[in-house]
Chains A and B, each alone.
Chain A
Amino acid sequence: MRQTNRAGKLAFSAVLALLASASAVAQKSTADGIAEYREMLQDGNPAELFEMKGEELWKQRRGPKNASLEQCDLGKGPGVVKGAFVELPRYFADTAKVQDLESRLLTCMEKQQGLDAKKIAATPFGKDEQKNMEGLVAWIASQSKGMAFNLPQTHVQEKQAYEMGKRLFFMRGGPHDFACASCHGADGKRIRLQDLPNLTKNPGASEGFGAWPAYRVSSGELWSMQRRLNDCYRQQRFPYPGYASDVTVALGVYMGVNGKDGKATAPSIKR
């Protein structure tokens, strides 16, 4: 009786092992297929069209003040675009705030061009002035492509923003009790077949944070970091985070600092 049991158990575990290895093979080929698909997409990223539009917008005189953004200070001095993306978000003395690329662009659009920053922040993604924002972030990010993230952490507000971002990243809430960390807090995890970068450290933090803005093939749009965070919160079943709000900027600081020394690949391409 005992022997029969043992034989049964052995056969059972052999079957389990077989099934596990069959499943591993299926997973591998699926993952390979996705990798190939991504490889194909890399050839001719439509984000380039957004970059071209963004460069034009940067130089174009617009708004009630009929001015360009060429004197906009993204943190490296007025008009310096190269290298700015890999040092954002950072503290700005004129606004006395830590700002990410998008909240800083709102400041420049308001102060230099006389556009209404509040109205732009309230505009739905992909509409009106937010379409211009897509181009601007694509171009500005592209000017730091391949450069290493090096967010400043010298000002007290920059340090505070990191600590706030960390608390927000681990904040469990909503009907599902999710936090950002539920999906992005460990290595080698995935949702369905989608790989999830671990945003608490490198390489995940720079690969994840450093890939946005990105062209989304599924929607045919260019998604900014703010839009990416907005959709993460939607899927967490949280309420709606304000565009360029303190929460989203602090999360940017947390991810960007965690990604230090990793290389920016934005604007990248996503399925």
Chain B
Amino acid sequence: MSKANWLPIAGIASSLIVLGCASVDSSANLDALTQQAVASSFRDQGIAKVDRLQQDESNAACSAADVAGVPLDAKRSAAIEAANLKTVQWPKDGKLVGDWREGEKIAQNGRGMTWTDKAGSANGGNCYNCHQISKEEISFGTLGPSLYNYGKIRGITDPGSAESKAIVEYTWGKVWNAKAYNACSGMPRFGHAGILTEAQVRDVVALLVDPKSPVNR
């Protein structure tokens, strides 16, 4: 993944070449102008530094597809998903399911990683901003699908059982790096990007799959 990083600086360098030989309105030139604007407009503030604007291959490809209004082809999507799947870190002790009560707190917490947040403070998962989760919480967003009855619908009665292994692993992988299963997913890569710790991911997985969690009751 790190090899695929592109920098705004590279965009500026190439724009000088493009300006010399291509039409003013070529797509490459507009890309270069945009990168110049990005480089001159943003600055570091608190913990939010300009290096956050460096896109990896997944974000660069999906952004370009969104601008063009044409989704990525199946081959490109599969390659991006495979690269992201490789980054998923599985728990060292093999324990995928933690405490759903902690998971609910993480799902409710929308704090962390903005320029007004302090370095080192625990991040939230922001889950309710986009998803319906427990039915008790009616203040939820609709940017992502409803997760109410997530485990129940998938037939999980014992998350530790052999039958549940595949779906529980998928759930871990999805929370760790959503792009492993959907190249241009709109969901943050919580483990991959260091938003949530391994222990927090474990608790969020519990919220979704534990039959005792309010999600499945």
Give A residues with C-beta under 8 Å from B: 16, 19, 23, 26-27, 30, 156, 159-160, 163-164, 166-168, 170-179, 181-183, 185, 188-193, 196, 234-235, 237-242, 245-248, 250
Contacts and interface: CB of A to CB of B under 8 A. Distances in A.
Interface residues of B, number: 53
B193 A175 contact: yes
B28 to A, nearest CB: 12
Contact of A177 (B30, B41, B67, B189): B189
B63 A160 contact: no
A177 B37 contact: no
Nearest to A237: B113
A175 B43 contact: no
Nearest to A236: B114
A138 B140 CA distance: 32
Nearest to A22: B135
Contacts of A238: 42, 48, 52-53
B67 A175 contact: no
Contact of A239 (B48, B55, B67): B48
Interface centre among A26, A159, A247, by most chain B C-beta atoms within 10 angstroms, is A247
B37 A239 contact: no
6 contacts: A19-B148, A19-B149, A171-B34, A175-B194, A177-B188, A242-B42
Contacts of B22: none
B38 interface: yes
Contacts of B66: 170, 172, 179, 181, 185
B50 interface: yes
Interface string B61-99: 011001100000000000000000000000000000000
B34 A167 contact: yes
A239 B138 contact: no
Contacts of A173: 52-55, 59
Given A30-B139, A177-B58, 8 more contacts: A164-B33, A168-B38, A175-B113, A177-B179, A189-B141, A242-B41, A245-B37, A246-B40
A241 B42 CA distance: 4
B115 A234 contact: yes
B7 interface: no
B138 to A, nearest CB: 5
Contacts of B141: 189-192
A242 to B, nearest CB: 5
B14 interface: no
A220 to B, nearest CB: 19
B142 interface: yes
Interface in B128-175: 128-130, 132, 135, 138-143, 148-149
